[in-house]
Amino acid sequence: MQKTRILKASVIAAAVGTLLTMHANAKEKVFVGHLADYSGPTAAVGKHYADGIKDTLSWLNKNGGIDGTELEFESVDYAYKVPQAISNYKKWTSRRDMVAMQGWGTADTEALISFASKDKVAVFSASYSGHLTDPTGKNPKTKKPAPYNFFYGASYSDTCRALVQWAKNDWEQKGKSGKPGFVHIGDNHPYPNAPKKACAEYAREIGFDVKPPVVVSMKPGDFKAQCLSIKTNGANYGYVANLGGSVVSLIKSCDTVGTDIQLMANIWGGDKLTFEAVGEGIDNYVFPAMTPFWTDNVPALENVKKIARSSKRDDSFQTHHYIRGVCTTLYMAEAMKWAKDNGGITGENVKNGMYVKKNWVPEGMEGVCLPANWASDDHRGINTVNIYQAKWDNGDIDVGRISQVELPRRDDWLGY
C-alpha cells in the first residue's frame, strides 16, 4: 500500500511538472501580425518596407528573440484592401493572442484604431497619417484618439509642412517676390489626402497662395491634362502625394507639356528605383527621408546589411523604405524587452515601453534611425525632416541632402 501511495505521488508530481513546463514553454512565444502590400496599388514601395520588417523579425529570432522569447509572426499580403486587413486583424486577435502588429496603409490603419484600442494591441504602421499621433484626443481636430498607434518618422502632415517651409526659403533665396503658389497633387484617397488640409493651412499661414488640389490617380496613366491644369493655375511648388508608377507617369507627363513647377514628394514618392524609371525628368525633384541611403558612409548601416544577409537578401542595394522597416521593427522589439522586464509582453506593456526612452535610437542604429521621443500624450515620435534632392547628371542620378527642418510640437498640429 505504501508503494502505491509513493507511485501515485510521483505520477502526480511528474504530471504537475509537465504542465508547468508546457506552461513555461507557451509563455516563451509572442505573436506579431504583419500586414503587407506585395500585389496591390502600393506594392512598388510596400514590398521593400515589408521585406525590412520580415527580415528583422527573423534576425531577432536568430539572435535570441526578445531576451529568449520567440517572435511568432505571420506576414499577409492584403493587397491594400481594408476588408482583408480587418479580417486578418480579427483572426490574429481571436486565434493567436496578438500583442503587436506591423501594419501598412492609411485607410486600413485608421479603420483599425478603435479595434486596437479595445483589444490593447500595439500597432506600428507604415502610415504616417497625422491622425494617428493624438493618443488622448485632446486636439478637437483629431479624428479619434489613437492610444495604441505608433510609427517611425514624421507624420505626412509634418513632412509636408517641412517641405513648404523649405519651399518658402527657396523662393526667397531666389529673390522672387509676391506669394508663391502651392498645390496638392494626389488621388482622392485616405493616404494622399491625409496631410492635404493641414499642409494647406500651414502654407497659407507662411505666405503661400494655395491653389485648388489637382486629383491624380494612384494608378499610372496619362496625366497631361492634370499637368496642363497645374501649368495654368500658377502653382510654383507642388506636393506629390502619390507613389511608384503614378509618380513616374506624373513627372513624364508634366515634362512633356512643359510644366514649370518644383515638385516635392511625400516620403513614399521618392526613391532611387522611381528616379531610375523617370530618367532625365527627375532633375531637381525634392523629397524627404528618415534614414540614410544604402550606399551612404554610415557605419551602422553595416548592421542593417547583416539583417538583409541573414535572410539571403541582396546586400548590395535596398531602398530607404527597407531601412525604415528595419527601424520600426527594432523600436517595437526594444519596447517588448522593456515590457518583458515590467510585467510581461502584453500589448499594453509594449505601448508603455514606447514612452520610457528619450532621444531613443535602437541599439547599434546610431546614424541610421533618427532619435525618437514618444510620450503618453503625444505620439509624434519624430519631428525632424531631412530633405533631399535628386539631380540628373549625364545619365547618373545623384541624391543629396539639401536641408533639415526641425518642426515645433504645436498643440494645434497634434493628431492633424
What is the pLDDT averaged over residues 340-349? 98
Residue 29 or residue 28, greater confidence: 29
Whether the pLDDT of residue 126 is over 50: the answer is: yes
Whether the pLDDT of residue 16 is over 80: the answer is: no
What pLDDT, on a 0 to 100 scale, did the predictor assign at position 415? 97
* Coil/strand/helix, residue 66: strand
Whether the pLDDT of residue 69 is over 50: the answer is: yes
What pLDDT, on a 0 to 100 scale, did the predictor assign at position 395? 85
CB 415 within 8 A of CB 139: yes
CB 202 within 8 A of CB 231: no
Q: Which three cell numbers stand for residue 35?
A: 500586414
Whether the pLDDT of residue 8 is over 70: the answer is: no
φ, ψ of residue 406 in degrees (nearest 5) = -100, 115
What pLDDT, on a 0 to 100 scale, did the predictor assign at position 394? 85
Residue 25 or residue 223, greater confidence: 223
Question: What would the pLDDT profile of 348-394 be if each residue is shown by its tens digit?
Answer: 999 999 999 999 999 999 999 999 999 999 999 999 999 999 999 88
Whether the pLDDT of residue 171 is over 90: the answer is: yes
Distance CA 408, CA 415 (A): 14
Q: Is the dihedral of CA 106, 110, 112, 113 positive or negative?
A: positive
Structural domains for the chain:
10-154+296-353 (3.40.50.2300), 157-289+384-413 (3.40.50.2300)
Percent of the chain with pLDDT over 90: 92
Q: Is the dihedral of CA 52, 57, 62, 67 positive or negative?
A: positive
Residues 6+ apart with CB under 8 A from 273: 44, 319
Q: Which three cell numbers stand for residue 316?
A: 548590395
By mean pLDDT, which of 15-19, 332-336, 351-355 is the weakest? Answer: 15-19
Q: Is 70 left (phi over 0), alpha (psi -120 to 50) or beta?
A: beta
What pLDDT, on a 0 to 100 scale, did the predictor assign at position 188? 97
Whether the pLDDT of residue 21 is over 90: the answer is: no
CB 147 within 8 A of CB 347: no
What is the pLDDT averaged over residues 110-119? 98
Residues 6+ apart with CB under 8 A from 148: 113, 116, 117, 120, 121, 122, 123, 347, 351
Whether the pLDDT of residue 6 is over 60: the answer is: no
Q: Residue 26: which pLDDT band, with cuts at 50, 70 and 90? A: very low
Question: What would the pLDDT profile of 247-299 be if each residue is shown by its tens digit?
Answer: 999 999 999 999 999 999 999 999 999 999 999 999 999 999 999 999 999 99
